[in-house]
């Protein structure tokens, strides 16, 4: 029983990360009816931004940017000794990585998707695959193809919950941060004027325009929001398992996409739920069946969803979508 609870906590923590990424797929789908295949790679870029922010660009990187190698950014928050490993450091690194990826998301939308918006959806889909390949290969060139090891942002420890259950503090931190981000997102989407506009755009683009909504700006904002969450997921994942590489976004991106479909693509609570379910199932399968099936779980779920409930768990019940 104690192992089960431990596995469950692991699964929820992993699932919360999938949820964060799935939210980006679902929100962009909501406003553009586009599956943004590059989204998983934005998550990868987020992890690398976190890595460089924490570790520093190194002497060569600093020279390339023409910066004083003593500069805080050039040396990194930890590498330059500007900050000690702590929760605050983790938060600062995460927030900065989020800001960078939000900008990246806006640039991708502006340069790649907006110009093809007037053409067919297939054109947009192919463009998305192109952006994805660009980020993956560009990542290998810029970051190097070999895996990097993320520094410890805060000191991890095992917490004894009693009854033989002990969890790693990183799982708790990841979970708490992910939930906090989702609460903030929920607030933005349902309580702010911009969130209202996002929902209007997802319901009916033409009507949204006729209300006086600057739909281009709302679409860009949606990309910023989704990409920031993906970057947060990238940093959080590295807190759990500190090995990152330029192709890390492919599989995780696909799993998060499955999570979005499972919850009902376009549906925000659905993406949160879908991510959790995939994370929990995956962890339990690895724990009780065999680690061999780790990556097959999500795709088995995808096939089942497509067969039995193509609209996803929350897709047709609550039609609320963004």
Partner 1 sequence: MLTLENISVSYGAIRALKGVSMHVEQGEVVTLIGANGAGKTTTLRSITGLLAPTEGRILFEGAEISGKPTHQLVARGISMSPEGRGVFANLTVRENLQMGAYLKKNKAEINRDLERGFRMFPRLKERESQKAGTLSGGEQQMLAMARALMSRPRLLLLDEPSLGLAPLVVHTIFEAIDEIRGEGTTILLVEQNAHAALKHSDRAYVLETGRIVMEGASKELAADPRIKEAYLGE
Residues that bind partner 1 (CB under 8 A): 193, 196-197, 199-200, 203-204, 206-207, 209-216, 319-321
User: Which one, 3 or 204, has the nearer CB to partner 1?
Assistant: 204
Query: Whole-number minimum distance, CB 212 to partner 1, in Å?
Result: 4
What is residue 229's DSSP assignment? H
Query: Whole-number minimum distance, CB 213 to partner 1, in Å?
Result: 6
Q: Kind and range of the H or E element at 168?
A: strand 165-168
Query: Whole-number minimum distance, CB 200 to partner 1, in Å?
Result: 6
* Cα 322 from Cα 208, distance rounded (Å): 13
Number of residues that this document lists for the chain: 322
User: Which one, 27 or 213, has the nearer CB to partner 1?
Assistant: 213
* Cα 88 from Cα 84, distance rounded (Å): 9
User: Which one, 166 or 215, has the nearer CB to partner 1?
Assistant: 215
Query: Whole-number minimum distance, CB 195 to partner 1, in Å?
Result: 12
Cβ-count burial of 74 within 10 angstroms (0-12 exposed, 13-18 middle, 19+ buried)? buried
User: Which one, 209 or 240, has the nearer CB to partner 1?
Assistant: 209
User: Which one, 111 or 210, has the nearer CB to partner 1?
Assistant: 210
* Cα 146 from Cα 141, distance rounded (Å): 10
Query: Whole-number minimum distance, CB 210 to partner 1, in Å?
Result: 6
User: Which one, 216 or 245, has the nearer CB to partner 1?
Assistant: 216
Long-range contacts of 171-174 (CB under 8 A, 24+ apart): 171/9, 171/10, 171/13, 171/240, 172/9, 172/13, 173/87, 173/90, 173/239, 174/13, 174/16, 174/17, 174/236, 174/239, 174/240
Contact 148, 244 (CB under 8 A): yes
Query: Whole-number minimum distance, CB 190 to partner 1, in Å?
Result: 11
- What is the separation of C-alpha 134 from the centre of its chain, rounded to a whole number of angstroms? 18
């Amino acid at each position: 029983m104690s192992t089960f609870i431990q596995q469950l906590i692991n699964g929820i923590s992993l699932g919360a990360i999938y949820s964060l990424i799935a939210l980006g797929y679902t929100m962009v789908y909501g406003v553009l009816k586009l599956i943004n295949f590059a989204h998983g790679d934005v998550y990868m870029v987020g992890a690398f931004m976190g890595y460089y922010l924490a570790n520093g660009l190194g002497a060569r990187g600093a020279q390339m940017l023409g910066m004083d190698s003593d500069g805080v950014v050039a040396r990194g928050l930890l590498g330059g000794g500007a900050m000690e490993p702590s929760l605050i450091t983790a938060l600062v690194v995460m927030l900065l990585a989020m800001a960078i990826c939000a900008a990246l998301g806006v640039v991708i939308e502006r340069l790649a998707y907006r110009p093809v918006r007037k053409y067919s959806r297939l054109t947009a889909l192919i463009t998305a695959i192109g952006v994805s390949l660009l980020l993956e290969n560009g990542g290998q060139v810029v970051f190097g193809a070999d895996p990097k090891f993320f520094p410890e942002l805060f000191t991890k420890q095992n917490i004894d919950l009693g009854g033989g259950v002990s969890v790693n503090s990183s799982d708790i931190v990841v979970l708490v941060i992910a939930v906090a981000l989702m609460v903030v997102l929920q607030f933005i989407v349902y309580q702010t004027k911009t969130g209202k506009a996002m929902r209007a755009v997802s319901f009916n683009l033409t009507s949204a325009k006729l209300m006086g909504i600057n739909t281009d700006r709302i679409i860009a904002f949606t990309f910023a929001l989704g990409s920031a969450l993906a970057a947060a997921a990238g940093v959080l994942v590295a807190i759990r398992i500190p090995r990152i590489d330029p192709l890390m976004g492919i599989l995780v991106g696909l799993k998060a996409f499955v999570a979005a479909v499972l919850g009902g693509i376009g549906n925000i609570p659905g993406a949160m739920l879908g991510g959790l379910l995939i994370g929990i199932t995956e962890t339990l399968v690895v724990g009780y069946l065999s680690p061999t099936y780790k990556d097959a779980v999500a795709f088995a779920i995808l096939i089942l969803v497509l067969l039995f409930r193509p609209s996803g768990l929350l897709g047709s019940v609550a039609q609320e979508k963004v």
